[in-house]
């Protein structure tokens, strides 16, 4: 279907692009390209299984195409060296009858569907395992969860993700849960309050600024209808406020990315020059404009800044064990208990939606394991197996679909890998079973007489 684009936008783009304008305009008659980013933390910590999904098997079976098309990874590559970012091979998935947004691996947090241009931002920040990261305009969570996959909780790496719009912040929190982030927090705050709370605290900051969304026109008619020159000016004013607060939170030697999904120079290159005026210690170390007629994707603008001065150094490694609560502090909420890494900052006084790992649901006479606990990665698998029996199903097993639809499923005692603790330790979650698909956890159920009562959250169930 031919897109009807704003006349004023087209005039601006013709001036901006000159001889490239016609090639740019042709992209609006092309099908949008989708990207998929693998969660290496999940793939590295999968439960052992005869039908375990692996990095290599997923690349082979789905014929994923690396974003960096020259990157040909091998099975000998380390986790840190492996590509995370891929183009979706739509033809191959159609051949397999797979809808990637409605697949058990998606529900398990094995991957995140993300626009290819947007995936380039975090890779330019050079996030280290021990960095303190702030994502200031974070929903729905693509860049946050991408950054989190570079962090090591046992080296003190943490991420705090903020979203000003409450409904979008809840979406962000849901994606934190699905991707298994235990060393992070989700806030619903004003950037000015955060700047006052965290002066010079973060060694990496992501600002994916709210913008006029010109890079969304090909796949989102709402972005077209909302565009106007006045809205562009409003975005610039809002962006200036956000980046001014972001710079105040950047630590000595730290790096900050600024990005948009628009082509307007006032929101892009001119905003980068404005950021440089906010602190004389800042330098622009990387800048790129991604155009849809030059690269596969919707387009993006990326600028990365570095603050001069000594860099943050890695702390001493710490030991984290969710079940023995080693390295965690317990926090009681209204209906849930949370386990929060001890190195996480105190967030009292801020509007916190999520902090650490929701560990247990507190009911009248008992505790139930929180759904987030099933997805928390980088935990000790041995410790996890101490407390929960495991039912690990093949992706082709019809019970996987039944479970994701919220139905009760059957399982013989012989199919369960029993919890190892037995009667040796006190188990607050006795009788609960972890349901997994190809070694990747989906959620919990309660086992009795060869039946498993479904505990997959109602809001996540397939319909």
Residue 425 — very low, low, confident or very high, per pLDDT cuts 50/70/90?
A: low
Average pLDDT of span 389-404: 95
Given CA atoms 380, 324, 457, 183 in this order, what sign does their dihedral have? negative
Question: Tokens 């241009």 identify what position?
Answer: 117
Share of the chain above pLDDT 90, in %: 78
For the stretch 370-382, pLDDT in tens is 999 999 865 545 5
117-145: per-residue pLDDT in tens?
999 999 999 999 999 999 999 999 999 99
Per-residue pLDDT for 245 more than 90? yes
Give CA–CA dist 463/443, Å, rounded. 17
Q: What is the pLDDT of residue 181?
A: 95
Average pLDDT over residues 71-94: 74
Average pLDDT over every residue of 428-447 = 91
pLDDT on residue 427? 74
Let me know if 261 is a catalytic residue.
Answer: yes
Contact 376, 340 (CB under 8 A): no
The predicted pLDDT at position 213 comes to 95
Computed over every residue of the chain, the mean pLDDT equals 91
Computed over its alpha carbons, how large is the radius of gyration of the chain?
Answer: 23
| The token pair that represents 214 in the structure block | 């010109």
The pLDDT value given to residue 379: 53
**For the whole model, what pTM was predicted?**
0.94
Q: Is the pLDDT of residue 70 over 60?
A: no
Tokens of 100: 């990637």
| Nearest-angstrom CA–CA distance, 64 and 389 | 33
What is the C-alpha separation between 242 and 314, in angstroms, rounded?
A: 28
| Choice among 137, 211, 235, 261 that is catalytic | 261
pLDDT digits (tens, 9 = 90+) for 180-197: 999 999 999 999 999 999
- Structural domains of the chain ordered from first start: 119-379 (3.40.50.150)
pLDDT tens digits for range 14-27? 999 999 999 999 99
Per-residue b or e along 92-130, where b marks 16 or more CB atoms closer than 10 Å to that residue's CB: ebeeeebeeeebbbbbbbbbbebbbbbbbbbbbbebbeb
pLDDT value, residue 366: 82
Q: What is the model's pLDDT at position 367? A: 86
Rounded distance between C-alpha atoms, residue 355 and residue 158, angstroms: 11
* Average pLDDT of the residues in 364-369: 86
Q: Is residue 161 classed as helix, strand or coil in its secondary structure? A: strand
Convert the pLDDT of each residue in 42-54 to its tens digit: 888 776 666 688 8
pLDDT band with cut points at 50, 70 and 90 for residue 73: very low
**pLDDT score of 353:** 95
């Amino acid at each position: 279907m031919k897109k009807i684009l704003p006349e004023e936008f087209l005039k601006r783009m013709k001036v901006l692009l000159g001889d490239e304008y016609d090639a740019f305009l042709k992209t609006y008659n092309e099908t949008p390209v989708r990207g998929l980013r693998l969660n290496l933390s999940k793939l590295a910590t999968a439960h052992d299984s005869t039908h375990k999904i692996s990095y290599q098997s997923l690349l082979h079976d789905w014929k994923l195409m690396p974003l960096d098309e020259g990157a040909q990874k091998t099975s000998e590559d380390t986790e840190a060296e492996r590509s995370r970012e891929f183009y979706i091979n739509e033809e191959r998935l159609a051949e397999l009858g797979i809808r990637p947004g409605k697949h058990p691996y998606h529900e398990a947090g094995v991957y995140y569907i993300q626009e290819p241009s947007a995936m380039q931002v975090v890779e330019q920040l050079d996030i280290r395992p021990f960095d303190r990261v702030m994502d200031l305009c974070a929903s729905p969570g693509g860049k946050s969860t991408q950054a989190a996959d570079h962090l090591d909780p046992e080296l003190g790496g943490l991420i705090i993700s903020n979203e000003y719009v409450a409904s979008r912040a809840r979406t962000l929190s849901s994606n934190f849960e699905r991707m298994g982030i235990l060393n992070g927090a989700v806030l619903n705050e004003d950037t000015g309050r955060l700047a006052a709370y965290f002066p010079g605290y973060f060694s990496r900051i992501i600002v994916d600024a709210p913008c006029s969304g010109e890079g969304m026109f090909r796949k989102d008619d709402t972005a077209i209808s909302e565009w106007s020159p006045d809205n562009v000016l409003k975005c610039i004013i809002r962006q200036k406020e956000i980046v001014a607060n972001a710079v105040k939170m950047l630590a000595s030697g730290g790096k900050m990315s600024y990005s948009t999904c628009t082509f307007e120079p006032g929101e892009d290159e001119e905003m980068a020059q404005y950021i440089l005026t906010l602190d004389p210690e800042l330098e622009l170390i990387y800048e790129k404009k991604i155009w849809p007629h030059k690269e596969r994707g919707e387009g993006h603008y990326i600028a990365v800044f570095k603050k001069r001065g000594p860099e943050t150094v890695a702390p001493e490694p710490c030991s984290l064990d969710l079940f023995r609560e080693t390295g965690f502090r317990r926090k009681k909420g209204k209906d849930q208990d949370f386990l929060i890494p001890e190195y996480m900052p105190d967030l009292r006084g801020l509007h916190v939606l999520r902090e650490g790992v929701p560990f247990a649901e507190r009911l009248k006479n008992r505790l139930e394991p929180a759904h987030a606990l099933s997805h928390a990665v980088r935990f000790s698998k041995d410790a996890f197996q101490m407390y929960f029996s495991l039912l690990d199903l093949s992706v082709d097993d019809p019970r996987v679909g039944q479970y994701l639809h919220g139905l009760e499923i059957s399982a013989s005692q012989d199919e369960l890998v029993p919890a190892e603790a037995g009667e040796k330790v006190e188990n607050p979650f006795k009788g609960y079973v972890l349901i997994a698909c190809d070694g990747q956890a989906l959620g919990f159920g309660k086992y009795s007489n060869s039946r498993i009562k479904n505990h997959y959250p109602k809001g996540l169930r397939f319909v």
